[in-house]
């Protein structure tokens, strides 16, 4: 049995599970998975066996002094960031790090219209109009502004040169990864800069593995 166990929902639809899983994958640690499926009418009781919030992801870490439980995706990121500094979840520079934490928190706390009207569904393509409920256009504009600003200021700057928001793949990319798939599902048109960023996220090896898991779920 691995020291880490993560409780997750379906690959196809569980956006927060994707974030928790990407975070744990990034550490390189061995881990076990417990899966619940939202198709199961008793899913809530299955989650509550593991997670007091009744939500996934839920991380359990077996330590010599007992099991440590961490739920909430940002808390999982910070917990694993402490244990695995080499995973570089946050950019090295103070300004970039502050911005990465800020946009990650903005993602975590906001964008309800987008969440409600454009649910994650990796295996489906949907007409754009179906997802454009009230407030979604503003959410899309704000997300694209964040991506463009981060790419221009930090992603291609002296601190990090890479395809992601802050150059290398960081926790900020993990927080936005489900949004990238939503834009894909609903065919949201993106600027050249944002398209290139979204393509880089979709091509990231762990993202591909998760998408393959979604396909296998059918």
Which residues contribute to the site for ligand GSH (CB under 6 A)? 9, 14-17, 44, 54-57, 72-73, 108
Query: Shortest Cβ distance from residue 64 to ligand GSH (Å)?
Result: 27
Q: What does the alpha-carbon distance between residue 165 and residue 51 come to, in Å, rounded to a whole number?
A: 31
Q: What does the alpha-carbon distance between residue 153 and residue 99 come to, in Å, rounded to a whole number?
A: 10
Q: What does the alpha-carbon distance between residue 215 and residue 140 come to, in Å, rounded to a whole number?
A: 26
Centre a 10 Å sphere on the Cβ of residue 156 and count the other Cβ atoms it contains: 15
Query: Shortest Cβ distance from residue 191 to ligand GSH (Å)?
Result: 28
Nearer to ligand GSH, 19 or 151 (CB): 19
Sign of the torsion formed by the C-alpha atoms of 12, 13, 15 and 19: negative
Q: Within 10-135, where are the H helices?
A: 15-27, 43-50, 73-83, 94-109, 112-117, 128-131
**Vertex 172 angle, CA 30 and 13, to 5°:** 70
Nearer to ligand GSH, 41 or 127 (CB): 41
Nearer to ligand GSH, 1 or 109 (CB): 109
By the 8 A CB rule, do 77 and 16 touch? no
Query: Shortest Cβ distance from residue 171 to ligand GSH (Å)?
Result: 12
Nearer to ligand GSH, 23 or 194 (CB): 23
Nearer to ligand GSH, 35 or 108 (CB): 108
Query: Shortest Cβ distance from residue 36 to ligand GSH (Å)?
Result: 8
Query: Shortest Cβ distance from residue 15 to ligand GSH (Å)?
Result: 5
């Amino acid at each position: 049995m691995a020291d880490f166990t993560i409780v997750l929902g379906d690959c196809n639809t569980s956006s927060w599970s994707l974030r928790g899983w990407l975070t744990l994958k990034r550490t390189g640690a061995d881990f076990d998975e417990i899966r619940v499926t939202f198709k199961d009418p008793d899913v809530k009781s299955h989650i509550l066996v593991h997670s007091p919030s009744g939500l996934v992801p839920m991380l359990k870490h077996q330590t010599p002094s007992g099991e440590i439980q961490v739920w909430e995706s940002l808390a999982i990121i910070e917990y694993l960031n402490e244990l695995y500094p080499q995973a570089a979840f946050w950019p090295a520079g103070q300004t970039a790090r502050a911005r990465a934490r800020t946009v990650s928190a903005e993602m975590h706390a906001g964008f309800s219209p987008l969440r409600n009207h454009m649910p994650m569904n990796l295996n489906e393509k949907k007409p754009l109009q179906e997802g454009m409920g009230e407030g979604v256009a503003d959410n899309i504009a704000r997300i694209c502004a964040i991506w463009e600003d981060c790419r221009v200021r930090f992603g291609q700057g002296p601190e990090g040169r890479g395809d992601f928001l802050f150059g290398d793949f960081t926790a900020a990319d993990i927080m936005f990864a489900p949004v990238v798939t939503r834009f894909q599902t609903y065919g949201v048109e993106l600027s050249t800069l944002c398209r290139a960023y979204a393509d880089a996220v979709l091509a990231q090896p762990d993202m591909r593995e998760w998408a393959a898991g979604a396909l296998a779920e059918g």
